[in-house]
Structure 1
Amino acid sequence: MTSTLTDTAPRPIAREASEGADWRGSAAGYLFLTPWLLGFFGLTLGPALISLYLSFTDFDLLGTPKWIGAANYVRIATNDPKFVAAMHVTFLYVVLAVPLKLAFALLVAVVLNKGIRGLPLYRALFYLPSLIGASVAIAVLWRQLFAGDGLLNQFLGVFGITGPSWISDPDYSLYTLVALSIWQFGSPMIIFLAGLRQIPRDVYEAAEIDGASRRQQFWRITLPLLTPVVFFNAVVQTIEAFKAFTPAFIISGGSGGPIDSTLFYTLYLYQEAFAYFRMGYASALAWILVVIIAAFTALAFLSSRYWVHYDG
Protein backbone atom coordinates (compact mmCIF):
# COMPACT_ATOMS: atom_id res chain seq x y z
CA MET A 1 0.00 0.00 0.00
CA THR A 2 2.80 2.37 0.87
CA SER A 3 4.48 1.67 -2.43
CA THR A 4 1.24 2.40 -4.34
CA LEU A 5 0.72 5.73 -2.60
CA THR A 6 4.30 6.63 -3.26
CA ASP A 7 3.96 5.81 -6.96
CA THR A 8 0.80 7.89 -7.37
CA ALA A 9 2.04 10.93 -5.43
CA PRO A 10 2.53 14.12 -7.50
CA ARG A 11 5.98 14.78 -8.81
CA PRO A 12 6.57 18.58 -8.76
CA ILE A 13 9.87 18.27 -10.57
CA ALA A 14 8.33 16.36 -13.49
CA ARG A 15 5.43 18.83 -13.73
CA GLU A 16 7.83 21.79 -13.74
CA ALA A 17 9.87 20.12 -16.47
CA SER A 18 6.72 19.59 -18.55
CA GLU A 19 5.63 23.19 -18.09
CA GLY A 20 9.10 24.37 -19.06
CA ALA A 21 8.96 22.30 -22.23
CA ASP A 22 5.53 23.72 -23.07
CA TRP A 23 6.79 27.27 -22.54
CA ARG A 24 9.80 26.65 -24.76
CA GLY A 25 7.53 25.23 -27.47
CA SER A 26 5.23 28.27 -27.26
CA ALA A 27 8.18 30.65 -27.31
CA ALA A 28 9.51 28.98 -30.44
CA GLY A 29 6.11 29.36 -32.09
CA TYR A 30 5.89 33.05 -31.21
CA LEU A 31 9.45 33.52 -32.42
CA PHE A 32 8.52 32.16 -35.85
CA LEU A 33 5.41 34.40 -35.83
CA THR A 34 7.48 37.49 -35.06
CA PRO A 35 7.99 38.58 -38.71
CA TRP A 36 4.24 38.32 -39.36
CA LEU A 37 3.38 40.12 -36.11
CA LEU A 38 5.81 42.93 -36.91
CA GLY A 39 4.34 43.24 -40.39
CA PHE A 40 0.75 43.18 -39.12
CA PHE A 41 1.23 45.78 -36.37
CA GLY A 42 3.81 47.88 -38.20
CA LEU A 43 2.45 47.80 -41.76
CA THR A 44 -1.28 47.07 -41.39
CA LEU A 45 -2.88 47.81 -38.03
CA GLY A 46 -0.60 50.69 -37.07
CA PRO A 47 -0.98 52.66 -40.33
CA ALA A 48 -4.73 51.95 -40.33
CA LEU A 49 -5.15 53.47 -36.86
CA ILE A 50 -2.98 56.45 -37.82
CA SER A 51 -5.11 56.91 -40.94
CA LEU A 52 -8.25 56.85 -38.81
CA TYR A 53 -6.80 59.62 -36.64
CA LEU A 54 -5.71 61.66 -39.67
CA SER A 55 -9.23 61.45 -41.12
CA PHE A 56 -10.31 63.82 -38.34
CA THR A 57 -7.50 66.30 -39.04
CA ASP A 58 -6.31 68.84 -41.59
CA PHE A 59 -2.93 67.47 -42.66
CA ASP A 60 -0.82 68.41 -45.70
CA LEU A 61 2.05 65.93 -45.14
CA LEU A 62 4.41 68.76 -44.19
CA GLY A 63 2.96 70.47 -41.13
CA THR A 64 1.44 69.17 -37.92
CA PRO A 65 -2.01 67.56 -38.18
CA LYS A 66 -4.71 69.94 -36.97
CA TRP A 67 -7.75 68.38 -35.34
CA ILE A 68 -10.96 69.44 -37.11
CA GLY A 69 -13.36 66.74 -35.93
CA ALA A 70 -15.79 65.36 -38.50
CA ALA A 71 -15.33 68.26 -40.96
CA ASN A 72 -13.79 66.00 -43.61
CA TYR A 73 -16.70 63.60 -43.47
CA VAL A 74 -19.22 66.45 -43.55
CA ARG A 75 -17.59 67.86 -46.66
CA ILE A 76 -17.64 64.45 -48.35
CA ALA A 77 -21.34 64.03 -47.61
CA THR A 78 -22.48 67.54 -48.50
CA ASN A 79 -20.03 69.44 -50.71
CA ASP A 80 -17.85 67.27 -52.92
CA PRO A 81 -19.05 66.68 -56.50
CA LYS A 82 -15.85 64.79 -57.29
CA PHE A 83 -16.74 62.25 -54.62
CA VAL A 84 -20.14 61.71 -56.22
CA ALA A 85 -18.53 61.30 -59.66
CA ALA A 86 -15.96 58.83 -58.34
CA MET A 87 -18.65 56.80 -56.59
CA HIS A 88 -20.75 56.69 -59.76
CA VAL A 89 -17.82 55.51 -61.90
CA THR A 90 -16.67 52.93 -59.35
CA PHE A 91 -20.11 51.43 -58.76
CA LEU A 92 -20.75 51.24 -62.51
CA TYR A 93 -17.40 49.52 -62.96
CA VAL A 94 -18.15 46.99 -60.21
CA VAL A 95 -21.65 46.25 -61.54
CA LEU A 96 -20.33 45.65 -65.06
CA ALA A 97 -16.92 44.08 -64.52
CA VAL A 98 -17.59 41.58 -61.74
CA PRO A 99 -20.57 39.68 -63.27
CA LEU A 100 -19.05 39.66 -66.77
CA LYS A 101 -15.69 38.50 -65.48
CA LEU A 102 -17.22 35.71 -63.40
CA ALA A 103 -19.51 34.60 -66.23
CA PHE A 104 -16.62 34.43 -68.70
CA ALA A 105 -14.40 32.64 -66.16
CA LEU A 106 -17.14 30.07 -65.50
CA LEU A 107 -17.69 29.54 -69.23
CA VAL A 108 -14.00 28.85 -69.84
CA ALA A 109 -13.83 26.59 -66.76
CA VAL A 110 -16.79 24.53 -68.01
CA VAL A 111 -15.09 24.12 -71.40
CA LEU A 112 -11.76 23.13 -69.84
CA ASN A 113 -13.55 20.67 -67.55
CA LYS A 114 -14.48 18.53 -70.55
CA GLY A 115 -11.12 16.79 -70.34
CA ILE A 116 -9.56 18.30 -73.47
CA ARG A 117 -6.03 17.39 -74.46
CA GLY A 118 -3.29 19.70 -73.18
CA LEU A 119 -5.37 20.97 -70.25
CA PRO A 120 -2.35 22.08 -68.12
CA LEU A 121 -1.11 24.22 -71.00
CA TYR A 122 -4.48 25.89 -71.49
CA ARG A 123 -4.79 26.53 -67.76
CA ALA A 124 -1.38 28.21 -67.71
CA LEU A 125 -2.15 30.34 -70.77
CA PHE A 126 -5.53 31.46 -69.45
CA TYR A 127 -4.10 32.22 -66.01
CA LEU A 128 -1.21 34.28 -67.39
CA PRO A 129 -3.23 37.54 -67.81
CA SER A 130 -4.16 37.43 -64.13
CA LEU A 131 -0.47 37.42 -63.22
CA ILE A 132 0.48 40.41 -65.37
CA GLY A 133 -2.86 42.10 -66.06
CA ALA A 134 -2.62 44.68 -63.26
CA SER A 135 0.94 45.71 -64.12
CA VAL A 136 1.90 49.09 -65.51
CA ALA A 137 3.23 47.50 -68.70
CA ILE A 138 -0.10 45.85 -69.51
CA ALA A 139 -1.99 49.06 -68.75
CA VAL A 140 0.29 50.92 -71.19
CA LEU A 141 -0.26 48.18 -73.78
CA TRP A 142 -4.02 48.45 -73.26
CA ARG A 143 -3.80 52.20 -73.79
CA GLN A 144 -2.00 51.71 -77.07
CA LEU A 145 -4.48 49.07 -78.15
CA PHE A 146 -7.52 51.33 -77.65
CA ALA A 147 -5.98 54.66 -78.69
CA GLY A 148 -7.44 56.56 -81.64
CA ASP A 149 -4.75 55.12 -83.92
CA GLY A 150 -4.39 51.90 -81.94
CA LEU A 151 -4.48 48.32 -83.09
CA LEU A 152 -8.22 47.95 -82.62
CA ASN A 153 -9.06 50.87 -84.90
CA GLN A 154 -6.47 49.71 -87.41
CA PHE A 155 -8.20 46.33 -87.49
CA LEU A 156 -11.60 47.97 -87.90
CA GLY A 157 -10.18 50.14 -90.68
CA VAL A 158 -9.52 47.01 -92.74
CA PHE A 159 -13.31 46.61 -92.97
CA GLY A 160 -13.90 50.30 -93.68
CA ILE A 161 -15.02 51.06 -90.11
CA THR A 162 -13.78 54.22 -88.41
CA GLY A 163 -13.60 53.51 -84.71
CA PRO A 164 -13.65 56.17 -81.99
CA SER A 165 -10.77 57.02 -79.71
CA TRP A 166 -11.87 54.51 -77.11
CA ILE A 167 -9.88 55.90 -74.20
CA SER A 168 -10.50 59.57 -75.05
CA ASP A 169 -14.25 59.30 -75.59
CA PRO A 170 -16.21 59.43 -72.30
CA ASP A 171 -18.87 57.20 -73.84
CA TYR A 172 -16.39 54.31 -74.22
CA SER A 173 -13.42 54.93 -71.89
CA LEU A 174 -14.83 53.08 -68.89
CA TYR A 175 -15.70 50.05 -71.00
CA THR A 176 -12.07 49.64 -72.03
CA LEU A 177 -11.24 49.19 -68.34
CA VAL A 178 -14.11 46.73 -67.97
CA ALA A 179 -12.67 44.78 -70.91
CA LEU A 180 -9.26 44.75 -69.22
CA SER A 181 -10.84 43.39 -66.04
CA ILE A 182 -12.62 40.62 -67.95
CA TRP A 183 -9.32 39.75 -69.65
CA GLN A 184 -7.92 39.01 -66.18
CA PHE A 185 -10.32 36.09 -65.68
CA GLY A 186 -7.63 33.50 -64.93
CA SER A 187 -7.82 33.51 -61.13
CA PRO A 188 -11.58 32.92 -60.78
CA MET A 189 -11.40 30.47 -63.70
CA ILE A 190 -8.90 28.27 -61.85
CA ILE A 191 -11.11 28.32 -58.73
CA PHE A 192 -14.21 27.47 -60.79
CA LEU A 193 -12.34 24.61 -62.44
CA ALA A 194 -11.33 23.21 -59.05
CA GLY A 195 -14.97 23.39 -57.93
CA LEU A 196 -16.19 21.65 -61.07
CA ARG A 197 -13.74 18.81 -60.48
CA GLN A 198 -15.36 18.18 -57.07
CA ILE A 199 -18.84 17.51 -58.50
CA PRO A 200 -19.39 13.70 -58.66
CA ARG A 201 -19.71 12.28 -62.17
CA ASP A 202 -22.46 9.88 -61.13
CA VAL A 203 -24.80 12.85 -60.58
CA TYR A 204 -24.50 13.75 -64.26
CA GLU A 205 -24.85 10.12 -65.30
CA ALA A 206 -28.09 9.82 -63.33
CA ALA A 207 -29.37 13.03 -64.95
CA GLU A 208 -28.53 11.71 -68.44
CA ILE A 209 -30.44 8.49 -67.71
CA ASP A 210 -33.43 10.65 -66.72
CA GLY A 211 -33.17 12.45 -70.07
CA ALA A 212 -31.79 15.80 -68.85
CA SER A 213 -30.13 17.93 -71.53
CA ARG A 214 -26.75 19.60 -71.13
CA ARG A 215 -28.45 22.91 -70.44
CA GLN A 216 -30.69 21.38 -67.80
CA GLN A 217 -27.69 19.68 -66.19
CA PHE A 218 -25.89 23.01 -65.96
CA TRP A 219 -28.80 24.91 -64.39
CA ARG A 220 -30.08 22.09 -62.14
CA ILE A 221 -26.80 20.40 -61.13
CA THR A 222 -23.64 22.33 -61.95
CA LEU A 223 -24.65 25.81 -60.89
CA PRO A 224 -26.40 24.85 -57.59
CA LEU A 225 -23.48 22.64 -56.52
CA LEU A 226 -21.05 25.39 -57.52
CA THR A 227 -22.73 28.18 -55.55
CA PRO A 228 -20.13 28.15 -52.69
CA VAL A 229 -17.40 28.74 -55.28
CA VAL A 230 -19.49 31.40 -57.02
CA PHE A 231 -19.99 33.11 -53.66
CA PHE A 232 -16.27 33.07 -52.87
CA ASN A 233 -15.29 34.41 -56.29
CA ALA A 234 -17.99 37.08 -56.18
CA VAL A 235 -16.82 38.41 -52.81
CA VAL A 236 -13.13 38.43 -53.77
CA GLN A 237 -13.68 39.98 -57.19
CA THR A 238 -16.02 42.65 -55.81
CA ILE A 239 -13.41 43.71 -53.28
CA GLU A 240 -10.74 43.78 -56.00
CA ALA A 241 -12.99 45.84 -58.29
CA PHE A 242 -13.54 48.45 -55.58
CA LYS A 243 -9.77 48.68 -55.11
CA ALA A 244 -8.92 48.93 -58.83
CA PHE A 245 -6.36 51.67 -59.43
CA THR A 246 -3.46 50.96 -61.81
CA PRO A 247 -5.41 50.59 -65.10
CA ALA A 248 -7.37 53.81 -64.54
CA PHE A 249 -4.24 55.70 -63.45
CA ILE A 250 -2.16 54.65 -66.47
CA ILE A 251 -4.83 54.75 -69.17
CA SER A 252 -6.23 58.12 -68.08
CA GLY A 253 -2.82 59.59 -67.31
CA GLY A 254 -3.76 59.95 -63.66
CA SER A 255 -6.48 62.50 -64.36
CA GLY A 256 -9.52 60.24 -64.36
CA GLY A 257 -10.60 61.70 -67.68
CA PRO A 258 -12.09 62.31 -70.05
CA ILE A 259 -14.72 64.25 -68.06
CA ASP A 260 -14.09 62.06 -64.99
CA SER A 261 -15.37 59.01 -66.90
CA THR A 262 -12.57 56.85 -65.46
CA LEU A 263 -12.26 58.59 -62.10
CA PHE A 264 -12.16 55.50 -59.92
CA TYR A 265 -12.59 56.03 -56.18
CA THR A 266 -9.02 54.95 -55.48
CA LEU A 267 -7.74 57.32 -58.17
CA TYR A 268 -9.61 60.23 -56.60
CA LEU A 269 -8.22 59.23 -53.19
CA TYR A 270 -4.70 59.25 -54.69
CA GLN A 271 -5.24 62.70 -56.18
CA GLU A 272 -6.38 64.15 -52.87
CA ALA A 273 -3.45 62.62 -51.00
CA PHE A 274 -0.50 63.09 -53.37
CA ALA A 275 -1.58 65.71 -55.91
CA TYR A 276 -3.30 68.20 -53.58
CA PHE A 277 -1.59 67.06 -50.34
CA ARG A 278 -4.88 66.82 -48.44
CA MET A 279 -3.88 63.72 -46.53
CA GLY A 280 -6.51 64.16 -43.83
CA TYR A 281 -9.25 64.33 -46.41
CA ALA A 282 -7.78 61.36 -48.29
CA SER A 283 -7.75 59.36 -45.06
CA ALA A 284 -11.46 60.06 -44.61
CA LEU A 285 -12.07 58.88 -48.17
CA ALA A 286 -10.09 55.72 -47.45
CA TRP A 287 -12.18 54.88 -44.39
CA ILE A 288 -15.39 55.44 -46.31
CA LEU A 289 -14.11 52.92 -48.86
CA VAL A 290 -13.42 50.47 -46.02
CA VAL A 291 -16.99 50.88 -44.80
CA ILE A 292 -18.41 50.42 -48.32
CA ILE A 293 -16.42 47.22 -48.89
CA ALA A 294 -17.38 45.91 -45.44
CA ALA A 295 -21.05 46.67 -46.13
CA PHE A 296 -21.01 44.85 -49.46
CA THR A 297 -19.22 41.87 -47.92
CA ALA A 298 -21.68 41.70 -45.03
CA LEU A 299 -24.60 41.94 -47.46
CA ALA A 300 -23.13 39.10 -49.50
CA PHE A 301 -22.82 36.89 -46.42
CA LEU A 302 -26.33 37.71 -45.26
CA SER A 303 -27.81 36.92 -48.67
CA SER A 304 -25.79 33.72 -49.07
CA ARG A 305 -28.19 31.77 -46.86
CA TYR A 306 -30.83 32.08 -49.59
CA TRP A 307 -28.81 30.93 -52.62
CA VAL A 308 -25.57 29.25 -51.50
CA HIS A 309 -25.93 25.50 -50.93
CA TYR A 310 -23.24 23.74 -48.89
CA ASP A 311 -25.03 20.43 -48.34
CA GLY A 312 -24.82 19.32 -51.97
Structure 2
Amino acid sequence: MTDAAQSEFRSGFVCFVGRPNTGKSTLTNALVGTKVAITSNRPQTTRHTIRGIVHRPDFQIVLVDTPGLHRPRTLLGKRLNDLVRDTYSEVDVIGLCIPADENIGPGDRWIYEQIRDVAPRTTLVVIVTKIDKVSKERVAEQLVAVHELVGDTAAEIVPVSATRGDQVDILIDVLAGQLPPGPAFYPDGELTDEPEEVLMAELIREAALEGVRDELPHSLAVVIEEIEERSGRPADDPLIDVHAVLYVERDSQKGIVIGKGGARLKEVGTVARTQIEKLLGTKVYLDLRVKIAKNWQRDPKQLGRLGF
Protein backbone atom coordinates (compact mmCIF):
# COMPACT_ATOMS: atom_id res chain seq x y z
CA MET A 1 0.00 0.00 0.00
CA THR A 2 1.37 3.45 -0.87
CA ASP A 3 1.89 6.17 1.71
CA ALA A 4 -0.82 8.24 -0.01
CA ALA A 5 -3.34 5.40 0.31
CA GLN A 6 -2.39 4.81 3.93
CA SER A 7 -2.84 8.47 4.80
CA GLU A 8 -6.21 8.80 3.05
CA PHE A 9 -8.69 9.80 5.74
CA ARG A 10 -12.26 8.56 5.43
CA SER A 11 -15.37 10.16 6.89
CA GLY A 12 -19.10 9.95 6.48
CA PHE A 13 -22.54 9.43 7.92
CA VAL A 14 -24.03 6.10 9.00
CA CYS A 15 -27.68 5.64 9.90
CA PHE A 16 -28.98 2.69 11.93
CA VAL A 17 -32.52 1.65 11.00
CA GLY A 18 -34.81 -1.17 11.97
CA ARG A 19 -38.00 -1.96 13.80
CA PRO A 20 -38.40 -0.20 17.14
CA ASN A 21 -36.44 -1.89 19.93
CA THR A 22 -33.85 -3.69 17.78
CA GLY A 23 -30.93 -2.27 19.76
CA LYS A 24 -30.06 0.78 17.61
CA SER A 25 -29.46 3.19 20.50
CA THR A 26 -27.45 0.63 22.51
CA LEU A 27 -25.34 0.01 19.40
CA THR A 28 -24.76 3.75 18.92
CA ASN A 29 -23.55 4.08 22.52
CA ALA A 30 -21.29 1.00 22.17
CA LEU A 31 -19.62 2.33 19.01
CA VAL A 32 -19.12 5.84 20.43
CA GLY A 33 -17.94 4.42 23.76
CA THR A 34 -20.23 6.58 25.89
CA LYS A 35 -23.92 7.34 26.30
CA VAL A 36 -25.21 9.67 23.59
CA ALA A 37 -28.52 7.95 22.78
CA ILE A 38 -31.17 6.96 25.29
CA THR A 39 -32.00 3.28 25.55
CA SER A 40 -35.10 1.60 26.85
CA ASN A 41 -36.87 -1.72 26.49
CA ARG A 42 -39.85 0.30 25.29
CA PRO A 43 -40.38 0.58 21.52
CA GLN A 44 -40.15 4.07 19.99
CA THR A 45 -37.97 5.53 22.72
CA THR A 46 -35.79 7.58 20.37
CA ARG A 47 -37.47 10.73 19.09
CA HIS A 48 -34.57 12.91 17.96
CA THR A 49 -31.90 12.30 15.33
CA ILE A 50 -28.96 11.97 17.71
CA ARG A 51 -25.52 11.91 16.21
CA GLY A 52 -22.73 10.00 17.87
CA ILE A 53 -19.19 10.38 16.59
CA VAL A 54 -16.59 7.59 16.35
CA HIS A 55 -13.03 8.97 16.13
CA ARG A 56 -10.00 7.00 14.89
CA PRO A 57 -6.65 8.23 13.50
CA ASP A 58 -7.65 7.32 9.93
CA PHE A 59 -11.43 7.79 9.88
CA GLN A 60 -14.45 9.44 11.48
CA ILE A 61 -17.91 7.84 11.53
CA VAL A 62 -20.86 10.09 12.31
CA LEU A 63 -23.75 7.94 13.55
CA VAL A 64 -27.28 9.12 13.00
CA ASP A 65 -29.68 7.43 15.41
CA THR A 66 -33.19 7.80 14.03
CA PRO A 67 -36.51 6.74 15.55
CA GLY A 68 -37.59 3.21 14.58
CA LEU A 69 -39.59 3.06 11.36
CA HIS A 70 -43.15 1.91 11.98
CA ARG A 71 -46.57 2.12 10.39
CA PRO A 72 -47.78 5.49 11.75
CA ARG A 73 -51.05 5.86 13.66
CA THR A 74 -50.69 9.51 14.70
CA LEU A 75 -49.34 12.77 13.29
CA LEU A 76 -46.30 12.35 15.54
CA GLY A 77 -45.73 8.88 14.07
CA LYS A 78 -45.91 10.28 10.54
CA ARG A 79 -43.43 13.06 11.37
CA LEU A 80 -41.01 10.54 12.91
CA ASN A 81 -41.21 8.39 9.78
CA ASP A 82 -40.60 11.43 7.53
CA LEU A 83 -37.53 12.22 9.63
CA VAL A 84 -36.20 8.69 9.08
CA ARG A 85 -36.81 8.77 5.32
CA ASP A 86 -35.10 12.15 4.94
CA THR A 87 -32.09 10.71 6.75
CA TYR A 88 -31.89 7.63 4.47
CA SER A 89 -31.15 9.66 1.38
CA GLU A 90 -28.48 11.82 3.02
CA VAL A 91 -26.18 9.20 4.59
CA ASP A 92 -23.29 7.16 3.14
CA VAL A 93 -24.21 3.85 4.79
CA ILE A 94 -27.47 2.43 6.14
CA GLY A 95 -27.08 -0.14 8.92
CA LEU A 96 -30.21 -2.30 9.00
CA CYS A 97 -30.54 -3.76 12.51
CA ILE A 98 -32.25 -7.14 12.85
CA PRO A 99 -32.20 -8.83 16.28
CA ALA A 100 -30.90 -12.39 16.59
CA ASP A 101 -33.54 -13.33 19.16
CA GLU A 102 -36.62 -12.75 16.96
CA ASN A 103 -37.66 -14.32 13.66
CA ILE A 104 -37.59 -12.04 10.64
CA GLY A 105 -41.15 -10.81 10.22
CA PRO A 106 -43.32 -8.54 8.06
CA GLY A 107 -41.96 -5.45 9.88
CA ASP A 108 -38.36 -6.24 8.91
CA ARG A 109 -39.38 -6.95 5.30
CA TRP A 110 -41.37 -3.70 5.13
CA ILE A 111 -38.39 -1.67 6.40
CA TYR A 112 -35.99 -3.38 3.99
CA GLU A 113 -38.39 -2.53 1.12
CA GLN A 114 -38.59 1.10 2.30
CA ILE A 115 -34.78 1.34 2.31
CA ARG A 116 -34.45 -0.06 -1.22
CA ASP A 117 -37.30 2.18 -2.41
CA VAL A 118 -36.11 5.47 -0.84
CA ALA A 119 -32.33 4.99 -1.06
CA PRO A 120 -31.53 2.25 -3.60
CA ARG A 121 -27.98 3.52 -4.17
CA THR A 122 -26.99 3.94 -0.51
CA THR A 123 -24.60 1.23 0.77
CA LEU A 124 -26.40 -1.28 2.99
CA VAL A 125 -24.80 -3.15 5.90
CA VAL A 126 -27.03 -5.55 7.84
CA ILE A 127 -26.29 -5.82 11.57
CA VAL A 128 -27.63 -8.85 13.44
CA THR A 129 -27.96 -7.48 16.99
CA LYS A 130 -28.35 -9.08 20.44
CA ILE A 131 -26.30 -12.20 19.63
CA ASP A 132 -25.57 -12.56 23.37
CA LYS A 133 -29.21 -13.55 23.89
CA VAL A 134 -29.14 -16.71 21.74
CA SER A 135 -27.00 -19.77 20.97
CA LYS A 136 -24.36 -19.82 18.20
CA GLU A 137 -26.62 -22.15 16.20
CA ARG A 138 -29.45 -19.63 16.40
CA VAL A 139 -27.11 -16.83 15.25
CA ALA A 140 -26.08 -18.97 12.26
CA GLU A 141 -29.75 -19.60 11.39
CA GLN A 142 -30.50 -15.87 11.60
CA LEU A 143 -27.55 -15.03 9.33
CA VAL A 144 -28.95 -17.44 6.71
CA ALA A 145 -32.44 -15.89 7.06
CA VAL A 146 -30.99 -12.37 6.72
CA HIS A 147 -29.12 -13.39 3.56
CA GLU A 148 -32.37 -14.78 2.12
CA LEU A 149 -34.03 -11.41 2.85
CA VAL A 150 -31.39 -9.06 1.42
CA GLY A 151 -29.52 -11.26 -1.10
CA ASP A 152 -26.61 -9.45 -2.71
CA THR A 153 -27.92 -5.95 -1.94
CA ALA A 154 -25.95 -5.80 1.35
CA ALA A 155 -22.24 -5.01 1.31
CA GLU A 156 -21.76 -6.96 4.55
CA ILE A 157 -23.74 -8.83 7.23
CA VAL A 158 -22.22 -8.46 10.71
CA PRO A 159 -23.44 -10.17 13.93
CA VAL A 160 -22.81 -8.12 17.12
CA SER A 161 -23.62 -7.83 20.81
CA ALA A 162 -23.57 -4.17 21.81
CA THR A 163 -24.11 -4.93 25.51
CA ARG A 164 -21.22 -7.41 25.65
CA GLY A 165 -19.03 -5.68 23.06
CA ASP A 166 -18.76 -8.74 20.79
CA GLN A 167 -17.68 -7.82 17.22
CA VAL A 168 -18.19 -4.08 17.84
CA ASP A 169 -14.65 -3.29 16.60
CA ILE A 170 -15.23 -5.45 13.51
CA LEU A 171 -18.45 -3.55 12.78
CA ILE A 172 -16.63 -0.21 13.17
CA ASP A 173 -13.99 -1.36 10.62
CA VAL A 174 -16.68 -2.59 8.21
CA LEU A 175 -18.57 0.72 8.39
CA ALA A 176 -15.37 2.77 8.03
CA GLY A 177 -14.40 0.73 4.98
CA GLN A 178 -17.61 1.78 3.22
CA LEU A 179 -17.06 5.52 3.76
CA PRO A 180 -15.69 7.85 1.08
CA PRO A 181 -12.37 9.68 1.50
CA GLY A 182 -12.95 13.06 3.13
CA PRO A 183 -12.10 15.37 6.02
CA ALA A 184 -13.25 15.00 9.65
CA PHE A 185 -16.58 16.73 10.22
CA TYR A 186 -16.08 17.23 13.96
CA PRO A 187 -13.07 18.01 16.17
CA ASP A 188 -11.41 15.08 17.93
CA GLY A 189 -12.99 14.39 21.31
CA GLU A 190 -16.46 15.65 20.36
CA LEU A 191 -18.85 12.72 20.77
CA THR A 192 -22.20 14.22 19.75
CA ASP A 193 -23.51 17.43 18.18
CA GLU A 194 -26.78 17.36 20.09
CA PRO A 195 -27.36 20.42 22.29
CA GLU A 196 -27.02 19.60 26.00
CA GLU A 197 -30.63 20.67 26.50
CA VAL A 198 -31.89 17.96 24.12
CA LEU A 199 -29.71 15.30 25.77
CA MET A 200 -30.97 16.33 29.23
CA ALA A 201 -34.60 16.04 28.11
CA GLU A 202 -33.88 12.60 26.62
CA LEU A 203 -32.19 11.39 29.83
CA ILE A 204 -35.22 12.48 31.89
CA ARG A 205 -37.52 10.74 29.42
CA GLU A 206 -35.46 7.55 29.60
CA ALA A 207 -35.64 7.54 33.41
CA ALA A 208 -39.41 8.13 33.34
CA LEU A 209 -39.98 5.25 30.88
CA GLU A 210 -38.01 2.69 32.87
CA GLY A 211 -40.34 -0.04 34.13
CA VAL A 212 -43.66 1.59 33.18
CA ARG A 213 -46.67 0.06 31.46
CA ASP A 214 -47.21 0.07 27.70
CA GLU A 215 -49.61 3.01 27.55
CA LEU A 216 -47.05 5.65 28.48
CA PRO A 217 -44.06 5.68 26.07
CA HIS A 218 -45.66 7.40 23.06
CA SER A 219 -47.52 9.87 25.28
CA LEU A 220 -44.53 11.27 27.16
CA ALA A 221 -42.64 14.40 26.10
CA VAL A 222 -40.07 16.31 28.15
CA VAL A 223 -39.33 20.02 27.80
CA ILE A 224 -36.43 21.75 29.56
CA GLU A 225 -37.87 25.10 30.66
CA GLU A 226 -34.83 26.67 32.30
CA ILE A 227 -31.13 26.00 32.95
CA GLU A 228 -29.22 28.44 35.13
CA GLU A 229 -26.19 28.47 37.37
CA ARG A 230 -27.06 28.93 41.06
CA SER A 231 -25.78 32.30 42.23
CA GLY A 232 -23.70 32.71 45.37
CA ARG A 233 -21.96 29.33 45.03
CA PRO A 234 -18.17 29.00 45.48
CA ALA A 235 -16.28 28.98 42.17
CA ASP A 236 -14.90 25.48 42.81
CA ASP A 237 -18.33 24.02 43.70
CA PRO A 238 -20.91 25.27 41.17
CA LEU A 239 -24.53 24.06 41.03
CA ILE A 240 -26.74 24.08 37.95
CA ASP A 241 -30.51 24.42 38.39
CA VAL A 242 -32.48 22.50 35.74
CA HIS A 243 -36.26 22.94 35.55
CA ALA A 244 -38.13 20.46 33.34
CA VAL A 245 -41.74 19.57 32.58
CA LEU A 246 -42.92 16.07 31.69
CA TYR A 247 -45.99 16.27 29.45
CA VAL A 248 -48.51 13.43 29.27
CA GLU A 249 -51.87 13.19 27.50
CA ARG A 250 -54.20 12.01 30.27
CA ASP A 251 -54.77 12.33 33.98
CA SER A 252 -54.24 8.56 34.51
CA GLN A 253 -50.79 8.85 32.89
CA LYS A 254 -49.92 11.73 35.20
CA GLY A 255 -50.62 9.41 38.12
CA ILE A 256 -48.31 6.75 36.67
CA VAL A 257 -45.42 9.20 36.27
CA ILE A 258 -45.83 10.76 39.73
CA GLY A 259 -46.48 7.48 41.57
CA LYS A 260 -47.88 6.98 45.06
CA GLY A 261 -47.09 10.00 47.20
CA GLY A 262 -44.74 11.30 44.49
CA ALA A 263 -42.35 8.35 45.00
CA ARG A 264 -41.99 7.47 41.32
CA LEU A 265 -41.26 11.04 40.20
CA LYS A 266 -38.67 11.35 42.97
CA GLU A 267 -36.98 8.17 41.72
CA VAL A 268 -37.04 9.46 38.12
CA GLY A 269 -35.43 12.69 39.34
CA THR A 270 -32.64 10.85 41.17
CA VAL A 271 -31.78 8.62 38.18
CA ALA A 272 -31.95 11.47 35.64
CA ARG A 273 -29.97 13.85 37.86
CA THR A 274 -27.09 11.36 38.13
CA GLN A 275 -26.94 11.04 34.32
CA ILE A 276 -27.19 14.83 33.78
CA GLU A 277 -24.38 15.42 36.29
CA LYS A 278 -22.20 13.02 34.26
CA LEU A 279 -23.13 14.89 31.08
CA LEU A 280 -22.38 18.36 32.48
CA GLY A 281 -19.55 17.38 34.81
CA THR A 282 -21.03 19.41 37.66
CA LYS A 283 -23.60 19.15 40.48
CA VAL A 284 -27.21 19.57 39.41
CA TYR A 285 -30.47 20.43 41.16
CA LEU A 286 -33.25 18.92 39.06
CA ASP A 287 -36.81 20.21 39.41
CA LEU A 288 -39.43 18.04 37.67
CA ARG A 289 -43.12 18.84 37.17
CA VAL A 290 -45.78 16.83 35.34
CA LYS A 291 -48.43 18.51 33.16
CA ILE A 292 -51.21 17.29 30.90
CA ALA A 293 -51.28 18.32 27.22
CA LYS A 294 -54.40 16.56 25.91
CA ASN A 295 -53.82 14.52 22.73
CA TRP A 296 -50.61 16.40 21.90
CA GLN A 297 -49.48 13.68 19.45
CA ARG A 298 -52.36 14.55 17.09
CA ASP A 299 -52.23 18.35 17.41
CA PRO A 300 -49.80 20.14 15.03
CA LYS A 301 -49.62 23.24 17.25
CA GLN A 302 -48.76 21.26 20.38
CA LEU A 303 -46.29 19.05 18.45
CA GLY A 304 -44.42 22.18 17.41
CA ARG A 305 -44.37 23.52 20.95
CA LEU A 306 -42.95 20.24 22.26
CA GLY A 307 -40.14 20.22 19.72
CA PHE A 308 -41.52 18.02 16.94
TM-score over 0.5 (shorter chain): no
Q: TM-score, normalised by structure 2?
A: 0.23
Q: TM-score, normalised by structure 1?
A: 0.23
Which protein has the bigger helix share? 1
Which protein has the bigger strand share? 2
